[in-house]
Amino acid sequence: MSLAEEYTEASEESRLERGLAYLQRNSRAYLLIAPAAVFLLAVVGYPIVETFRLSLYRSPADSTIETFVGLQHYAEIFDSDIFYRLLWQTGRWVVAGVVGKTILGLLIAIHLKGDIRGRKFFRTAFLIPWGIPYAISAVVFRWIEHPQFGYLNAILLKLGLIEQGIGILGNPSLAWLGVVVADIWIGTPFMAIIFLAGLQSIPQELYEAAAIDGAEKWHQFRYITLPQLKSVILIATLLSTIWTFVSFDVIWTMTGGGPISSTATLVIHIYQVGLQNGNLGRGAAYSVIGFLFLLVFAVIYLRIYTRGGDEL
C-alpha cells in the first residue's frame, strides 16, 4: 500500500470516528426530535412523494386502474398555451396582492405606532378582517362589488364617476382586480401586526439622535426604519407570497375562476382539472410544477436574505 493510500485510509477512519462520536454526543437530541420527524414525513413527505408518483400515471377519478405514462403530462402541460396564461395570471395575482398588502400593512403599522387617540381600539379593529373566514369575506366583497346592489357602485354613482353600475366580477378585464382588492383587505392586518411588532423593537434613541441631527421624517424612515425592518419585511413577504400563491377560497368564492377563466390561477386550475374533470394524473403534474416554483422561489429568496450574514 502506497503512502498516499495509507493517508487516505487513515483520514477516512478519522472522519468515521468523528462522525460516530458526534452521533453519540447528540443521540439524546436525535431521539427527542425523532417523533416530530416521523410525523412530518408522514403528513408532509408522503403526500409530496405520492403526488409526484400520481403525476406519472393516467388516473381517472372514476376508476382504480392506473396507466403509466411517464412524463407525458409534463410534456403536454409545457406545450399548452393554457399553462403560460395561468403563469401570467398567477404572477399578476401574487405580485399585486403581496405588494398591496405590504405597502398598506407598513403604512398602518407606522400609523398605529404613533401616539394616536384610541390606539388600542384601532389595533384590535385592524385584526377583525384577518379573523373572519376567507370565504365569508369573499362573499361580502362579492356583494360590495355587485353591479346593482353593491356599495362600490353606489358610491361611484353618487360621486358622478360612472353613469351606470359596473359588473366588475363579470368583466374579464376587471374581475382579477376586484378579487385582488378583497385579498388585500383580508391579508393586510397580518402584515400590519408583523410590521408593528418590528417597529416596536427599533430603539427610540435612533430616532431621537436623527431628530437632533436635523433628519426629516422621510430620511428617518429611509435610513432607520427600513434597514431595521429588513428582516421582518423579508420574512413577512415570503410568507405572504406563499399564502397568496396557494390561495383558493377568495377566488373560488367570488368568481369560480371566471369569467372566461380570467381569474383562474394555477391552484384553481389544479382543482378544476384534478377534481372537477377527474384527471388526477394531470392535476398532480400541475401540483408538482407549482410546488417546484414555490421551492425555487423560497430558496432564492432565502439566499438573498442571508447574503448579508443574517440568520433565521
Rounded Cα–Cα distance for residues 100 and 192 (Å): 12
Q: What is the DSSP string of 288-302?
A: HHHHHHHHHHHHHHH
Residue 308: predicted pLDDT:
60
Backbone angles phi, psi at 287, to 5 degrees: -65, -40
Residue 184: predicted pLDDT:
93
Rounded Cα–Cα distance for residues 138 and 247 (Å): 12
Residue 40: predicted pLDDT:
85
Residue 29: predicted pLDDT:
83
Going from the C-alpha of 266 to that of each of 116, 172, 242, 261, 290, the distances in angstroms are: 43, 17, 13, 11, 7
Q: Per-residue confidence of the chain (312 residues) as pLDDT tens digits?
A: 565 666 566 666 677 777 777 777 778 888 888 888 899 888 888 889 999 999 999 888 777 788 899 899 999 999 999 999 999 999 999 999 999 999 999 999 988 887 777 777 777 777 777 778 888 889 999 999 888 888 888 888 888 888 888 888 888 888 999 999 999 999 998 899 899 989 988 898 888 888 888 888 888 888 888 888 988 998 899 999 999 999 999 999 999 988 888 999 999 999 999 889 889 999 999 999 999 998 998 888 888 777 665 555
Backbone angles phi, psi at 206, to 5 degrees: -65, -40
Secondary structure (3-state) at 85: helix
Cell of 182: 378583497
Going from the C-alpha of 92 to that of each of 86, 148, 269, 286, the distances in angstroms are: 10, 28, 15, 18
Query: Tell me, what DSSP letter sits at residue 60?
Result: B
Rounded Cα–Cα distance for residues 99 and 230 (Å): 15
Facing residues of 60 across strands? 279
Q: Please give the radius of gyration of the chain, using alpha carbons only, rounded to the nearest integer.
A: 26
Rounded Cα–Cα distance for residues 52 and 280 (Å): 11
Rounded Cα–Cα distance for residues 276 and 269 (Å): 10
Helices 280-305 and 230-245 cross at an angle (nearest 10°) of 170
- Amino acid identity for residue 61 in this structure: A
Rounded Cα–Cα distance for residues 101 and 181 (Å): 10
Rounded Cα–Cα distance for residues 300 and 312 (Å): 15
- Amino acid identity for residue 68 in this structure: F
